[in-house]
Chain A
């Protein structure tokens, strides 16, 4: 009888271990698949919420209109309650912003820009000297930088803009916000057209000053949902027209353009497919919507540390660039400050945040309110200790790999 009992236990063990592993493997696979499905779902939901600006019954109470619009926006339904006035203002303001994007690329200018941002680790300010040759070269030099940073506007590469006003960003902005022309004012001592950008709940999100003569943006303010200013960018000095003071090093920087880092990036034709491929290799990303910002572009680059995937999320105002690399962070992170962000241990430098999670290193560069950055960090695999489910899932994956190395 005891011998039978021993056989029974052996049989149970023999059947149980592969069974449990198989079940967990299936569950893990389903988890990965569901993450991939989330990519499609969020993509569809996002596309469903965009479209031409709706025209609605005029005379509706503003507060009611904004509340209804907010509910519709939250539920993903088309927004239908903007007034005719709002619609016409949106059309005119978007037209001006579109012209500003073109002007920022085509107009020659030089000046001093001051950018101030509220970051997750305090406020950050950078002062830059900028020279831009209309239709071509842009040179940016920060006082502490040893050499000028060079960008080159060419072909179908994402063009540099002024204060984030590019054609791509303006297009995204028109899908996620309502813009309104607010008359004229002055900035940098120059007359300017003022455009305000509102969220669908009616709160102010941003304000632009466009040069009255050239339409090049002179200033931009961003506000969070609590009406707090989170970013301010402006020209303290600016002069339009042919460059009279060639920047030092401009000539010698030219030949270096071919090997400049930006030229190594290869733009992906389908950003969602890039996210799906990352999910397949185990990087559990939230999909094509990060902290409410839709994925709109992706690129990849091969570096000395391996391949880097660049995922770009933006709603037209806030922009998050997420760089994903396989590996773990180096033990020494000189120039970075270790902080705790929503329970995760991350490293912060300026408007950049980096951390390692589940075999990937994430580096996030954000022009976005701190709460959006925190939300985005918390939506990604954490920099702290992994959760029980994640840890068990990874362990079972490795066990399954031990049992069947070819799986």
Chain B
């Protein structure tokens, strides 16, 4: 009777499947030698696995202890909160700077707005337009008769002409213009 041989480790590792797994299990049921070998292999595998877990934990603990015993170890843990504070201060400084600039700009703008409100300085002359002079100049340049002083040119109080013409009556401009236009229109 031949034994499982190398198939035992494959069986223990769970690498067999299907008909091969059935054949291996059937053989183990009837063969004490292979069953014993399989049991030993399983135990060995369990022990190896336990060793591996311990090593990993032990390595973590070792690294932690090394870190605690390092010369700058405790100091190394503090930079994070310190950097955060510096950044915050920088940000606060930036806020202050922008606030100061805004205050300056708004202040200067408000001052300019206030100073620009008065259209004239206190030393600017107060003027009453010399209408008669201007009207005559306008008449000369435009080639038309000058209007007289302002109070004499309003329709509600029309002046009395030396020879009353039709157009000087108290009529609307449109009516008077139409009437005279019809009389002379070609």
Contact = CB atoms under 8 A, between A and B. Distances in A.
Contacts of B60: none
A359 B120 contact: yes
Nearest to B103: A13
A306 B129 CA distance: 11
Nearest to B176: A116
Interface string A141-181: 01111000101000001111111111011000000000000
Q: Which of B89, B116, B176, B181 gathers the greatest number of chain A CB atoms within 10 Å? A: B116
B138 A185 contact: no
Determine which residue in B104, B114, B138, B162 has the highest number of CB atoms from chain A within 10 A of its CB, and name it.
B138
A67 interface: no
A58 interface: no
A123 B126 contact: no
A248 B33 CA distance: 161
B119 A352 contact: no
Interface residues of A, number: 118
Interface in B150-170: 150-155, 158-163, 165-168
A225 to B, nearest CB: 17
B184 A219 contact: yes
B112 A126 contact: no
B131 interface: yes
B105 interface: yes
A398 B115 CA distance: 7
B31 interface: no
B146 to A, nearest CB: 5
Contacts of B76: none
A335 B150 contact: yes
A287 interface: no
B138 A327 contact: no
B140 A158 contact: yes
A149 to B, nearest CB: 5
A305 B127 contact: yes
Contacts of B101: 12, 16
Contacts of B160: 143
Contacts of A12: 97, 100-101, 104
Contacts of B177: 116, 221, 229, 232
B84 to A, nearest CB: 15
Contacts of A162: 143
A321 B148 contact: no
Q: How many interface residues does chain B have, given as a range? A: 35 or more
Contact of B138 (A163, A219, A301, A365): A365
A126 B152 contact: yes
Given A303-B133, A335-B150, A125 B168 contact: yes
A234 B162 CA distance: 16
Contact of A232 (B112, B149, B180): B180
A356 B119 CA distance: 9
Given A261-B137, A330-B127, A395 B147 contact: no
B144 A297 contact: no
Nearest to A127: B161
Interface in A309-327: 310, 312, 314, 319, 321, 323, 325-327
B125 interface: yes
Contacts of B105: 16, 20
B166 to A, nearest CB: 7
A158 B142 CA distance: 8
A287 B154 CA distance: 32
Given A229-B177, A236-B165, A350-B150, A183 B141 contact: no
Contacts of A29: none
B161 A331 contact: no
Contact of B131 (A16, A188, A352): A352
Interface string B97-125: 10011001100110111111101110011
Given A312-B141, A328-B119, A363-B131, A114 B165 contact: yes
B144 A336 contact: no
Contacts of A378: none
Interface of A: 1, 5, 8-9, 12-13, 16-17, 20-21, 24, 101, 104, 112-118, 122-130, 140, 142-145, 149, 151, 157-166, 168-169, 182-188, 192, 194, 209, 219, 221, 229, 232-234, 236-237, 260-262, 265, 297, 299, 301, 303, 305-306, 308, 310, 312, 314, 319, 321, 323, 325-331, 333, 335-336, 349-352, 354, 356-359, 361, 363, 365, 367, 386, 388, 390-399
10 contacts: A1-B89, A5-B96, A116-B173, A169-B143, A194-B186, A260-B136, A305-B125, A323-B137, A327-B120, A392-B109
Q: Which 9 A-B pairs have the closest CB atoms?
A: A161-B143, A395-B116, A395-B112, A236-B165, A349-B150, A185-B186, A166-B143, A144-B152, A123-B173
Interface of B: 89, 93, 96-97, 100-101, 104-105, 108-109, 111-117, 119-121, 124-155, 158-163, 165-168, 172-174, 176-178, 180-181, 184-186
